[in-house]
Amino acid sequence: MSLNTQILIAAILGVAFGFFLNLYPETSFFDGSIYGLSIASSIFIGLLKLLLIPLIFSSIVVGVSNLQSGGQLSRTWKITLACCVTTTTLALILGLTCAHIFQVGKGVDIALFQDAMAQHQTPDTLTPSSFFTNFIQNTLINPFKAFAEGNVLAVVVFALMVGVALVKGGEKFNTVRNLSQQFFEIMMLMIGWVMKLAPIGIFALLAKLIATEDISVINRLVEFAVVVTGTTIFHGAVVLPLLLWIFGKMSPWTFFKGTRTALITAFATSSSSATMPLSMKCAQENLGVRPQTAGFVIPLGTQLNMDGTALYEAAAALFIANLMGLDLTLGQQLIVCATAMIASLGAPGIPSAGMVTMIMVLQSVGLPAEAIAILIPIDRLLDTVRTVVNVQGDMMISVVVDRYTKPDDAVLNTPSSS
């Protein structure tokens, strides 16, 4: 049985086992099972995280130095940036439009949520300018501190600089270049080992999620949850595949078939960072993205490109405004879009990161930060789908960028994989 099939079966069994466990709450069977599932899922996530920082560092150093020496770095980053901005903008427009069409939050009684909001500790004000200052202060730091703390963005910046310096230094740095290349290959080999554990890890993560989350809380916010999830799925199943087909000349079938391991892992972990090692492997080995492109675009996209998060934040801001009986003007909605875009750039790829940066989006149009207390109970569940779309966007962009940075004749001759 192929690994992909094993993972699919494990995901289905994990969900089923989670529901089964729900039938025996507060029993020793339940507690013992949760303990076992926690250990299995921690081992899987721990191994992915263990590889994350060395992988990001080596892949960017190798990717940048190969791109730079081939004269493709400038073109690669420009196309990457254009793709990130385009897909995120489309996600924001989609999120706001659907929230408008379905009038999420209108008619819901805010009194239902007064307790949750009153108990919620109001976080410090998060304005775009303070967010920006923090962003810079947390990014330009001692690289050893960044490695030790797992600060992805700071490692990305340092790796970009090392990659460019390696090329500027020319021949004399060949030893370090070769060393980085071999180190990167070692990381990819180790990811292959971790992937073998994916069926067990995904089974454990999903069973634990279903068994421990209070799924009934969705009832109160069912309309919002359905609209956000449906819109996010539409973005991932229609908008992104269409762009991939037009610009990447790849059929959705080829894409989904090649990336399902990473997508299911994103769903189970709700973390694009933890999924990154698998996204990189899928993009290179199953979608045929050149290692230098995947090594540059995927780590960068993991940090900066989050369509699912942007869409969620825009829709949630409108939901909260409707709930409070406020009509946001067009200008305010544009502010929501701009801050949601910054918030999705700055959100780390970890579970519920979008919830934290959403404070900034709410405050940008004068909505109270405590209002996130309304969404917190269902966030972990909604996070699953938006993380899938975040990860999907990164792999998709790597395909498009790779196509447009190949030598001209290769682009013209790229066969459609459909």
Residues that bind ligand ASP (CB under 6 A): 270-272, 306, 309, 347, 349-354, 383, 386-387, 390
Q: At closest approach, how far in Å is the CB of 338 from ligand ASP?
A: 18
160/300 Cα distance (integer angstroms): 10
Residue with Cβ nearer ligand ASP (351 or 368): 351
Q: At closest approach, how far in Å is the CB of 122 from ligand ASP?
A: 20
Q: Tell me whether residue 205 is exposed, middle or buried, using C-beta atoms within 10 angstroms of its C-beta: 0 to 12, 13 to 18, 19 or more.
A: buried
Residue with Cβ nearer ligand ASP (162 or 358): 358
307 and 387 Cβ atoms separated by less than 8 Å = no
Please identify which residue in the block is written with the tokens 């539409």.
Answer: 234
- CB-based closest residue to ligand ASP: 354
Q: At closest approach, how far in Å is the CB of 89 from ligand ASP?
A: 17
Residue with Cβ nearer ligand ASP (52 or 73): 52
Residue with Cβ nearer ligand ASP (226 or 376): 376
Q: At closest approach, how far in Å is the CB of 354 from ligand ASP?
A: 3
339/360 Cα distance (integer angstroms): 7
Contacts for 199-202: CB closer than 8 Å, 24+ residues apart: 199/3, 199/6, 199/7, 199/9, 199/10, 200/10, 200/40, 200/44, 201/40, 201/41, 201/43, 201/44, 201/45, 201/265, 201/268, 202/7, 202/10, 202/11, 202/14, 202/44, 202/264, 202/265, 202/268
Residue with Cβ nearer ligand ASP (277 or 354): 354
Q: At closest approach, how far in Å is the CB of 356 from ligand ASP?
A: 8
Q: At closest approach, how far in Å is the CB of 27 from ligand ASP?
A: 31
225/238 Cα distance (integer angstroms): 19
User: What six digits make up the tokens of 299?
Assistant: 């780590």
Other C-beta atoms closer than 10 Å to the C-beta of 320 total 26
Residue with Cβ nearer ligand ASP (353 or 401): 353
User: What six digits make up the tokens of 197?
Assistant: 């554990």
